[in-house]
Amino acid sequence: MIITSTEADIGDARRATSEFVGRAGPETAVDDVVLVVSELVTNAVKHTIGWWRLRVSVHRRRLVVDVEDASWAPPVPRQPDEGAVGGRGWQIVQQLADSIEVLPNSGGKTVRAVWSCGRPGSSA
């Protein structure tokens, strides 16, 4: 599944991820994956200029979420805002995913979150 900023917003990304993970059937907590997608896409919208692209796939017993954006700067952990709601997203992503990578690409970076699945899937 691929969604881009030219065709969707954060809510669309969450809904499509929930539907995809539900159909693909990996033994992964759908709510955790959707929350990670929400945080990563929100970070791309708030902290970069330009486009973002979400790709969710199941391959070789792994559920992979890739969020690409136009910035080469990696996510930076920050202190949560006192009495506010901001500053916790990157920590949430790190706690919910089995692994996280930040990979440079030709147009910026890709933040990859990976979960192990209980049974094999196919690339989507």
Are 75 and 111 a contacting pair, CB within 8 Å?
Answer: yes
Tell me, yes or no, whether 69 lies in a domain: yes
Tell me, yes or no, whether 104 lies in a domain: yes
Tell me, yes or no, whether 124 lies in a domain: no
pLDDT at 1 over 50: yes
Which three-class secondary structure state does DSSP give residue 112?
Answer: strand
CATH number at residue 60: 3.30.565.10
Residues 5-64: tens digit of each pLDDT: 999 999 999 999 999 998 876 667 899 999 999 999 999 998 888 899 999 999 888 999
Q: How far apart are CA 113 and CA 66, in angstroms?
A: 7
* Residue 83 backbone class (left: φ over 0; alpha: ψ -120 to 50; beta: rest): left
User: How many structural domains compose the chain?
Assistant: 1
Tell me, yes or no, whether 109 lies in a domain: yes
Structural domain boundaries, residue 18? 2-116
Please give the DSSP secondary-structure letter assigned to residue 61: T
pTM for this predicted structure = 0.86
